[in-house]
A and B are shown apart, each in its own frame.
Chain A
Amino acid sequence: AQSVTQPDIHITVSEGASLELRCNYSYGATPYLFWYVQSPGQGLQLLLKYFSGDTLVQGIKGFEAEFKRSQSSFNLRKPSVHWSDAAEYFCAVGVGNAGNMLTFGGGTRLMVKP
C-alpha cells in the first residue's frame, strides 16, 4: 500500500530564511505528487503538483518542489520565507486509476520567527 512520510512534525525558521520541507513516499508505480497548505481553521490549498516531465516543479507563493525518484522524495522549498507562510503543509501521493485518491503525509507545521 502507498504511504507518505513527512519526517518533520514542526519546523521553525526566521523570516527571510530559506525553507525545505521533506517528503518521502512509498508507491509501486509512478506517483502523482502534491503539496498542499492548510492555514488554521481553513481547508487545503494546492501549492504545486507533479504528474510527469520536468522533475522541478514551480508552484504558487514562490514554492517549488523537486521529484527525486531514486530517493522516493518530493521535498518542498522556498528561498525566502514570509511570516504569512506559517501554516501546516501536507505532502500527498495520488493513487488509483486516475491518481486522484490522495494519500497524505502527517503534515509539517511551519512557524516563522520575526
Chain B
Amino acid sequence: DTAVSQTPKYLVTQMGNDKSIKCEQNLGHDTMYWYKQDSKKFLKIMFSYNNKELIINETVPNRFSPKSPDKAHLNLHINSLELGDSAVYFCASSRGRTDTQYFGPGTRLTVL
C-alpha cells in the first residue's frame, strides 16, 4: 500500500479557478507538509501542520490554504489560480516534527 498518496496526479485548469489537491497518509504520522517544486526543480516548503500547530512559510500567498479533516489527511486548497502556480506539489508526512519525512508521488498542476 502507498504510504503517502496524492490525488490527482495531474491537474490542468484555467487561471482564476479554485482547485484542491488531496493528500492521505496511512503511516499514522502526526505531522504533514506541503512542498512546491517549480520548473527548475527548486523545492520549497509551504506548510508544516500537525493537530496542534500550523507553520506557514511566509512567502506562500494566502490564496493557498491547507485543510485537515483528520490526522491522516492534509488537503491543499488554492484560490484564484495564477500562471505562476504551475508546479509539482508534494505532500509529505512524519511521525514527529523531527522525524524522517516521507513524500508522496507529487501532483503536477498546470495553469493555463
Q: Does B22 contact A (CB under 8 A)?
A: no
Contact residues of A between 62 and 114, Cβ < 8 Å to B: 88, 90, 92, 96-104, 106-107
A44, A97, A100, A104: the one contacting B31 at CB < 8 Å is A100
B106, A43: Cβ atoms under 8 Å?
Answer: yes
Complex Cα distance A64/B8, Å? Answer: 35
Interface of A is mostly: strand
Q: How distant is the Cα of A45 from the Cα of B103 in the complex, in angstroms? A: 7
Q: Are A104 and B106 in contact (CB under 8 A)?
A: no
Can you name the residue of chain A whose Cβ is closest to the Cβ of B91?
Answer: A43
Q: How many A-B residue pairs have CB under 8 A?
A: 60
| B53: min CB distance to chain A, Å | 9
Asked if A46 lies at the interface with its beta carbon under 8 angstroms from chain B, I say yes
Q: Which of B13-21, B67-75, B77-85, B94-102 touches A?
A: B94-102
Chain B residues in contact with chain A, CB under 8 A? 4, 31, 33, 35, 40-45, 48, 55, 57, 90, 92, 94, 96-98, 100-106
Identify 12 new A-B residue pairs, CB closer than 8 A, beyond the known A100-B48, A104-B44: A41-B105, A42-B105, A43-B4, A43-B104, A51-B98, A98-B96, A99-B98, A100-B98, A100-B101, A102-B43, A104-B43, A106-B42
A-B complex: 3 closest residue pairs judged by Cβ atoms? A98-B97, A43-B103, A104-B43
